[in-house]
Amino acid sequence: QVQLVESGGGSVQSGGSLRLSCVASRTTYSRLWMGWFRQAPGKEREGVAAINARGMSGYSNSVKGRFTISQANDKSTLYLQMDSLRPEDTAMYYCAAAYAESYVIPSLRASDYPYWGQGTQVTVSS
């Protein structure tokens, strides 16, 4: 059982930056995919970025070049640096984890991730 706790959300003006953090516990980090997902009101949950234990990462087209996913050296903490934020980035952001192979770029499909945090709200005003 993986436990995930997010932090770092908040309100920012368009063009601003935020950094989200997610602490993972009770797990074997060497076999984890970890990802960030978001869900806006009335919309489906979408994958934003994901990374595996080897550091291989993937991004959705909507955030590529603006967001950066990373993890601590011991893999216990996941980060999402969000720059050049836009109003359409407003959503609840969730950290998720899955036990999976570390030699492929991790999936951005929410259904591939069984473990989820409670979420942290990000609001971007114009």
Does the pLDDT value for residue 29 go beyond 90?
Answer: no
How many CA atoms, within 13 angstroms, populate the side-chain half-sphere of residue 104? 6
pLDDT at 74: 83
Three-state DSSP state, 31: helix
- Mean pLDDT for the chain? 94
Counting every residue written for the chain, the total comes to: 126
Residue 28 has pLDDT above 80, yes or no: no
Q: How far apart are CA 116 and CA 25, in angstroms?
A: 12
pLDDT band at 1 (very low <50, low <70, confident <90, very high): confident
Look at 22-31, 43-52, 67-76, 79-88 and tell me which has the smallest mean pLDDT.
22-31
From the CB of residue 34, how many other CB atoms can be counted at a distance below 10 Å? 28
- pLDDT given for residue 3 in this prediction: 93
Look at the alpha carbons of 22, 26, 30, 31 in this order and tell me if their dihedral is positive or negative: negative
Can you tell me the distance from the alpha carbon of 103 to that of 88, in angstroms, rounded to the nearest whole number?
32
Residue 30, SS3 per DSSP: helix
* Structure tokens given for 73: 């050296």
